[in-house]
Structure 1
Amino acid sequence: MGWKLWWWWWWWLTAAAVEVAAESAHHHLVTRIGFGSCANQGAPQPIWNAIIDFDPQVFIWLGDNIYGDIRRPFKIFGKERTIGPWRNSPRFIPSSEQEMKSRYGKAKSNPGYSRLRKNTKVIGTWDDHDYGLNDAGKEFSRKVTNQRLLLDFLGEPQDSPRRKQDGVYASYTLGPIGRLVKVILLDTRYHRDPLRSDGTILGSSQWEWLEKELNSSPTSVTIIGSSIQVISNLSATTGPLFYMESWGRFPKERDRLFKLIEDSKRDGMFFISGDVHFGEITRYDCATGYPLYDVTASGITQAVEKVVPQPLHLLVRFLAWLTPTTMRVMDHNCRYRSCTYGLPNFGAVEIDWNAAPVTLKIEVRDVNGNPVVGVATSLSELQARNFNSSITKKTREHQRHCSLEVSLPWIVRYRLAILASCALAILVIALIGGVWAAILACRRCGRGLKRKCD
């Protein structure tokens, strides 16, 4: 009987020690947070070395954590045409459950990522390619199965509420009392209506949940993670050449989000996002009583400059600078004049709790861990004050970060499309001119030969 009693006491003490350790870890001071997106499991991922050197206590996946769908080749002609207005076959098709498992397994076993997971708490949400299909929303039939696969990849406990709800949204409160950091991760896929519908992104249940989270106990810092960009709406200026997914393409939903944040009077809030295959920082000054930042880090492997030859990188950077934007933060600290970065990158948040006031440094960093764009601010500057948003919009509408892209004059807004049309017209005229010149030259040559024969 005595040995059973000792065994019981040993088991209780061990369990208590584990619980205390877990609780202690939960309350550790958070000073460094890393985040990233768009990681093709089949591509080299050297950037993990820089992320590990940054030594984040938390790393946040913002979607496209794997590329689970199958991308078919470009085909203009033939039976299966995947591009052009005449296309009759989808460019992307879903993978099987087994193939998704295999791709997650490959991503999880990456040596750099495996080293990060040993000392860093990893959390995250998804975007379209790990959801299962490019640009997919609530209509996607395999979302329930793929939700389970994502949560397995993230190591979510089997009894987690995330395994019982519709969607992978979640929140985490980290750090000690008085220095709390709240991370809210949104699901922009499971409930999303079709693009161009101006319907819902989050769905009613997630909106109710988000309202409760924003009106819950205050925290020093609140980070909202969205797989797609919240503040930037570059599609308003790059269309009709090409479009990108963003909250700006659902204006009613974005207005609702800004209104919810304003009503919550929550301090120290900013967004982090991914998806677009380049890094940038955007800002909106007319949603709350303080600037709202959106730090986009995209991607771990996928980046716009990687898909074009090296000599064309300067052209990509020039077009990024030429693209009209009212939201992007532009200053001399950016590596490039466009204040975008089109090579592999990750996001880094540093909080100096010992500074007075507490300071925040939010950056996009390159494969070597060097900052390429960044913002330094303080919690005192991110304080919700008494203000009327409608009055603020009227009195500050002249300011750069108070006018959305859709409000730009049409000749500015469609600058890229106008230039592309002019370039195409010049190219066509030059081609026609070249063909006509060749025909005339052939005729002259033919006449010359005829004279010689005569």
Structure 2
Amino acid sequence: MKKLLTLSLFAGIALAGCRTPKSDTSSTLSFKQADSSRTKAITKIAFGSCSDQKRPQPLWDDIVAQKPDVWVWLGDNIYGDSESMDTLRAKYAIQKSNPVYQQLRQLTPIIGVWDDHDYGVNDGGKEYPKRKESQQLMLDFLDVPSTSPLRQQEGGYSVHTYGPKGQRVKVILLDARYFRDPLKKENKVNVPDPSGDMLGEAQWKWLEQQLTKSDADVHIIGSGVQVLPEEHVYEKWANFPTARKRLLDLIAKTKPKGALFISGDRHMAEVSKVSVPGLGYDLFDITSSGLTHVSAPHVEANQYRVGDMVTKLNYGLITINWAAKPITATVRINGDEQATYLTQQISF
């Protein structure tokens, strides 16, 4: 059944994706289109996460049919879970050889970041011993040229800017694995660790630079794990509450236009919303997961959830109307056979 969720924001936000020629993580097609990245506005972006290369992948034809301007991977792009780079490489090859995904690669720029299973270890952080080698395989999967600065950078974070002034979208993809402190557990259950960090100081500095006095009209901040939810016991920014507060405080301090989080990981989809003092508009976290498998229907607390939780195969789709005054966007959580499970109308 299609569920409708309609919201109107005082200072709106939208999803979109793009690339900058010298610091991008994207497909070969994206790099060929580098010269047009700041001259042509994008209107449609698709995103998703959690794609097990061994399972059926029924959503790619639906995604291709939408003709998105960009596709954003939000992690668990394969289920690698190994310290063997040969194993990870072989699993990436299986995912990349999917014939319908190949169609998407030919038609649409691809950008993305990893989560734990493609990083190489379940729930892993900076303690994973093969993180440097694994990063190169992720960049290979995303067709990042060997000459890209990302090949020398520690961590898979990246920024992608698209569109002319007045229609400019900046996609900021955070690496919540490479520098993340180990999880704190009690009786094998994750518990908050106020002393732990998610990003590392180099990435924090870079993020502040991307947000400070940015000329983008929309800022999409992608994270492999959820940013806003706090109650569930799985991976999330709230496992490191000081880092989560630092992130929200940074957004309040820099006040970028139209900031929005997108996330994956959870094998379900939902919309979360908080009010950040000093920001001037509500801040959303749109979670889309997974492309090949989801959790069984269940009840899960989330004080910030808006609407229902979706436990069907899904991907996210954003359509921006730049001609509208104010700018508007339609955010959808879609599924197989062009199904739509959530729809959110947003005004900027």
CA RMSD of aligned residues (A): 1.5
Q: Which structure would you say has the larger RCO, counting Cα contacts within 8 Å and 6 or more residues apart?
A: 2
Gaps of 5+ in 2: 1-30, 185-192
Deviation at 1:286, TM superposition (A): 2.9
Q: Hey, what does 2:210 align to over in structure 1?
A: 213
Q: Hey, what does 2:234 align to over in structure 1?
A: 244
The letter for the 1-side match of 2:126 is K
Distance 1:343 1:246 in 2: 21
The letter for the 2-side match of 1:163 is R
Secondary structure at 1:304 match in 2: coil
Select the residue among 317, 325, 340 that pairs with 2:302. 325
Overall identity of the aligned pairs, in % = 43
Q: CA 1:265–1:363 in structure 2 vs 1: closer, same or farther (change >3 Å)?
A: same
Q: Hey, what does 1:279 align to over in structure 2?
A: 269
Distance 2:170 2:241 in 1: 26
Select the residue among 278, 292, 310 that pairs with 1:301. 292
Q: Hey, what does 1:111 align to over in structure 2?
A: 99
Q: Does 1:31 align with 2:43?
A: yes
- State the TM-score, normalized to the length of structure 2: 0.86
Secondary structure at 1:272 match in 2: strand
Q: Does 1:55 align with 2:36?
A: no
Distance 1:120 1:32 in 2: 11
Q: Does 1:43 align with 2:55?
A: yes
1:362-396 per-position Cα deviation (integer Å, ceiling 9, x unaligned)? 121112232212321111xxxxxxxxxxxxxxxxx
- State the TM-score, normalized to the length of structure 1: 0.66
More strand by share: 2
The letter for the 1-side match of 2:324 is A
Q: CA 1:376–1:150 in structure 2 vs 1: closer, same or farther (change >3 Å)?
A: same
Q: Does 1:367 align with 2:315?
A: no
The letter for the 1-side match of 2:56 is P
Gaps of 5+ in 1: 1-18, 70-93, 236-242, 306-315, 331-338, 380-454
Select the residue among 262, 267, 270 that pairs with 2:260. 270
Deviation at 1:27, TM superposition (A): 2.6
1:187-226 per-position Cα deviation (integer Å, ceiling 9, x unaligned)? 0000000113331000000000000000143211110000
Deviation at 1:108, TM superposition (A): 0.5
The total of aligned residue pairs comes to 308
Larger radius of gyration, structure 1 or 2? 1
Distance 2:342 2:119 in 1: 29
The letter for the 2-side match of 1:328 is R
Secondary structure at 2:338 match in 1: coil
Q: Hey, what does 1:7 align to over in structure 2?
A: none
Q: Hey, what does 2:26 align to over in structure 1?
A: none
Distance 1:152 1:52 in 2: 22
The letter for the 1-side match of 2:226 is Q
The letter for the 2-side match of 1:46 is P
Is contact 1:295–1:363 with CA below 8 Å preserved after alignment? Answer: no
Q: CA 1:25–1:260 in structure 2 vs 1: closer, same or farther (change >3 Å)?
A: closer
The letter for the 2-side match of 1:98 is D
Distance 2:182 2:99 in 1: 38
1:250-272 per-position Cα deviation (integer Å, ceiling 9, x unaligned)? 11111100110001111111010
Secondary structure at 2:127 match in 1: coil
More helix by share: 1
Distance 2:325 2:337 in 1: 30
Distance 1:20 1:327 in 2: 40
Distance 1:370 1:352 in 2: 22
